[in-house]
Structure 1
Amino acid sequence: MKPTRKRLRRACVAAAAAGLLFAPAVAGSAYGAAPAAPAVPAAPSPDPDAEFVRLTPAVAAELDAAVRKVMDETGVPGVTVGLWAPGKGSYVKTFGVADKATGAPMATGLHVRIGSETKTFTVTALLRLVDRKEIGLDDPVATYITGVPNGDHITLRQLAGMRSGLFNYSGDADFIKRFEADPNALFTPRQLLDYSFKHPAQFAPGAEFDYSNTNLILLGLVIEKVTGRPLHEVIEQDVLKPAGLHRTLFPTGAEIPAPYAQGYTNQTASGKTVNSTHWDPSWAWAAGAMISDLQDLRSWARTLATGTLLTPATQAQRLKTTPIGVPGAGYGLGIFNVQGWIGHNGSLPGYETLTVYLPQARATMVILLNTDALHDGQEPSTLFGEAVTAIVSPDHVYPGHKPH
């Protein structure tokens, strides 16, 4: 399988699970039956350090060594790690370079492309429409979008929860061929759906879990249909502004605001590593096109996991997870719960991110990388997340895994 084919099938993933899903990458493929992660956090442990250790100088030194070890093993150019926990301290540190050509170091204020973390914003925009009673989670997608296979039976809830059965367009051979030929090609949402809809359904709506970027493209179109506004404007006005995020954006082209980390990928037809910073993300649109930075993602992690932009009833529905085949992990509505860490990861050519929140400790973890090159078949963001959480939250280790 060509590197790009492998990556695009997983692009914009989720669940630490697999690239989630693939993985979570969870991103792209389903896993076998495993118990769903609990939607409601467990009661706090009587041991104040059981959920999250104190970030002492000794622990910081241990984290430094663990991060450098993963960097040495994976060859990641640069990484930023941020940890914050009330009463336990904080750890914010950058490693390596943001630009291999100039040697400029990674820095905490750099923008990066966040891949599938975009899904959390798109689904939040959808759920705010639910709270305003402009749409219903159990509405069939055919109510809003014509031409969807099984559209009369696939609900918006199933799209947001990755249970539609629709083929993932980024796994289509013709899509991959076009992307490999021109990574700056402009794709429209309808073109992306065409790549998906020529394939038969993978399963009956609601029958299984399968991470598919097609689901989010449809939700983006539903949001535009209901609001009468472009998706990027809806997310900016209805999600980013209420959340107080000023350095996060949904680009309409290949732009990325300065300052930014250069992104490097080997997911090319030749397998050679190239600079993909300015590749147009239109192919990912509502599933993975957004940009952010460390501090905005720190804020978003808590907002997302605690549901401050939604009603309690809607947030409870969001956090109800479906098993993804990874022990202790489940996927909700545009969000995952992996060993108690709630949030999402992201991956697209040149970048990987992981933004999660541990309610028991009110702890936040954000990890940003400027490459998406796999290491022994694993997402590097997952490897960093596993190494860090093994130290700071040993009862809640974000797991590494071997993707399908």
Structure 2
Amino acid sequence: MRGFRARAAPAVAAASLLLTVLCVGQAPAAAPLGRVDVDPATAQRLDDAITAAMKKADIPGVSVGLWFDGRGSYERSFGTADTATGTPMKTDLFTRIGSVTKTFTVTGVLQLADEGRLRLDDPVAKYLDGVPGGDRITIRQLADMRSGLFNYTEDTDWLADLQADPTRSWTPQQLLDIAFRHPAEFPPGTRWEYSNTNTVLLGLLVEKLSGQNLSTYLREHVLEPVGLDDTALPKGAEIPSPYAHGYTAFSPGGKVVDASLWNPSWGWAAGAMTSTLDDLHTWVPALTGGKLPDGSRLLKTGTQAQRMRALPTGHPGVGYGLGIADINGWVGHNGELPGYETIAARLPQDGAVLVVIVNSDVDKDTGSLSTLIGETVTEIATPDRPWSVPAAAQPNATPDAPVPPTTGKATPPKPSGS
């Protein structure tokens, strides 16, 4: 679930940014920025713990939002958004949200099911040609990661190509061609394994049945109804300003570079969207409750119930429904891509919403940076239900293997286990 993960920018200046080596190890800002109306003692504990975690993991910038229904909120930003200028991290900056994108794409599929344009247990071959075993893989199995289709972001040649030119534009069909060169990992429905290939297919399904491109469909049918004015699926590498710069070591030689303007087209329906802390705060209750802010339905009650029925993944404390994860009771999704890590989830039993934004994926010895911050926050705020993702449940859902300079090829990702 290392992207339960996904990438991004304007194409100009991207080439020069790729070659600029940056120092991520900036000391966090002296005082965090943002609004707090929880009790001062808890706020101070959170401030101190997040600052300590950032120092331990050498994280440049973090934004955290924690909201309790009627019981206060905590919105803070720490550190720097741009290490070159020292610009501080702020809660209103745009960011790339990686695999949180999947929650939007699958919502589109479920809306089409509500309209009778598809059935979740239909085979994908009924709608899309060329899928190996597509007569036996259902739409539901694509959405809940049980199709068995190879995850194209684990193809070593593709990893090398992406690392060599992270500004390159990829089409969905090119990504599927990479995936389909590999045999299925297992018969459909027999186990769970995270694969971006599944969600790319679902994006194409939305386009075919709606007659709209995915970006337009999501804007008109999901983003605007929910009131997400600052969330979008970009056509290319664009990201609105002001944005948090993202730092990654997914570069030749493992140098830390600014990935803000890298092209996320390789993630598309699985991981290319941009958003803000505030928009993700608005999205999570709609995602987990199936309702729009005006009280009307985003999805039918029965469809929402199916979405939320998380099945075991084979990892303790981790379940997965239809484009949505259940992590120790926190329901939502995380996302990672070069330069950015995100958590957007709700703890229904406490009426809590958590959003974490980190502008680095340089995990080093601490593991996932967003998981580190999520654990740090929830161990204080919801100690009986900490955000906890087992290391074995974090498959390499986006590239994280540096290309050895002697071969020019990417080293294979570590086996994800399942």
What range describes the TM-score normalised by the shorter chain of this pair? 0.7 to 0.9
For residue 154 of structure 2, the aligned residue among 155, 159, 171 is 171
8 Å contact from structure 1 (residues 120, 335) kept in 2: yes
| 1:67 and 2:50 aligned | yes
Aligned partners of 1:375, 1:306: CA distance in 2, in Å?
Answer: 36
Residue range with higher mean Cα deviation, 318-327 or 211-220: 318-327
Q: Which residue does the alignment assign to 1:333?
A: 322
CA positional deviation for 1:328: 2.0
Paired residue type of 1:231: L
Sort the Cα spacing of 1:56 and 1:377 in 2 relative to 1 into closer, same or farther, 3 A.
closer
Secondary structure (helix, strand or coil) at the match of 1:323 reads strand
8 Å contact from structure 2 (residues 38, 72) kept in 1: yes
Q: Which residue does the alignment assign to 2:299?
A: 310
8 Å contact from structure 1 (residues 383, 400) kept in 2: no
Q: Which residue does the alignment assign to 1:108?
A: 91
8 Å contact from structure 1 (residues 138, 156) kept in 2: yes
Aligned partners of 2:84, 2:69: CA distance in 1, in Å?
Answer: 39
Q: Which residue does the alignment assign to 1:389?
A: 378
| 1:247 and 2:230 aligned | yes
CA positional deviation for 1:80: 0.5
Aligned partners of 2:311, 2:363: CA distance in 1, in Å?
Answer: 26
For residue 294 of structure 1, the aligned residue among 256, 260, 277 is 277
| 1:321 and 2:304 aligned | no
Aligned partners of 1:65, 1:400: CA distance in 2, in Å?
Answer: 23
CA positional deviation for 1:400: 4.4
CA positional deviation for 1:144: 1.2
Secondary structure (helix, strand or coil) at the match of 1:389 reads helix
Aligned partners of 2:69, 2:145: CA distance in 1, in Å?
Answer: 34
**Which is bigger in relative contact order (C-alpha 8 A, separation at least 6)?**
1
Aligned partners of 1:188, 1:207: CA distance in 2, in Å?
Answer: 30
8 Å contact from structure 2 (residues 207, 213) kept in 1: yes
Q: Which residue does the alignment assign to 2:246?
A: 263
8 Å contact from structure 1 (residues 170, 213) kept in 2: yes
8 Å contact from structure 2 (residues 232, 274) kept in 1: yes
Alignment identity in percent?
A: 52
Residue range with higher mean Cα deviation, 204-213 or 174-183: 174-183
For residue 131 of structure 1, the aligned residue among 95, 109, 114 is 114
For residue 191 of structure 1, the aligned residue among 150, 174, 181 is 174
Aligned partners of 1:212, 1:76: CA distance in 2, in Å?
Answer: 27
Secondary structure (helix, strand or coil) at the match of 1:325 reads strand
Paired residue type of 2:250: Q
Paired residue type of 1:203: F
| 1:92 and 2:92 aligned | no
**Structure 1 residue runs of 4 or more that deviate by more than 6 Å after TM superposition:** none
Aligned partners of 2:95, 2:115: CA distance in 1, in Å?
Answer: 32
CA positional deviation for 1:147: 1.0
8 Å contact from structure 2 (residues 316, 390) kept in 1: no
Q: Structure 2: where are the runs of 5+ without partners?
A: 7-36, 292-297, 393-415
Residue range with higher mean Cα deviation, 280-289 or 260-269: 260-269
| 1:160 and 2:143 aligned | yes
Aligned residues: 357
Secondary structure (helix, strand or coil) at the match of 1:94 reads strand
8 Å contact from structure 2 (residues 191, 313) kept in 1: no
Q: Which residue does the alignment assign to 1:26?
A: none
Q: Which residue does the alignment assign to 1:367?
A: 356
Residue range with higher mean Cα deviation, 63-72 or 323-332: 323-332
Normalised by the length of structure 2, the TM-score is 0.83
Q: Which residue does the alignment assign to 1:35?
A: none
RMSD, aligned α-carbons: 1.4
Normalised by the length of structure 1, the TM-score is 0.86
Q: Which residue does the alignment assign to 1:46?
A: none
8 Å contact from structure 1 (residues 377, 402) kept in 2: no
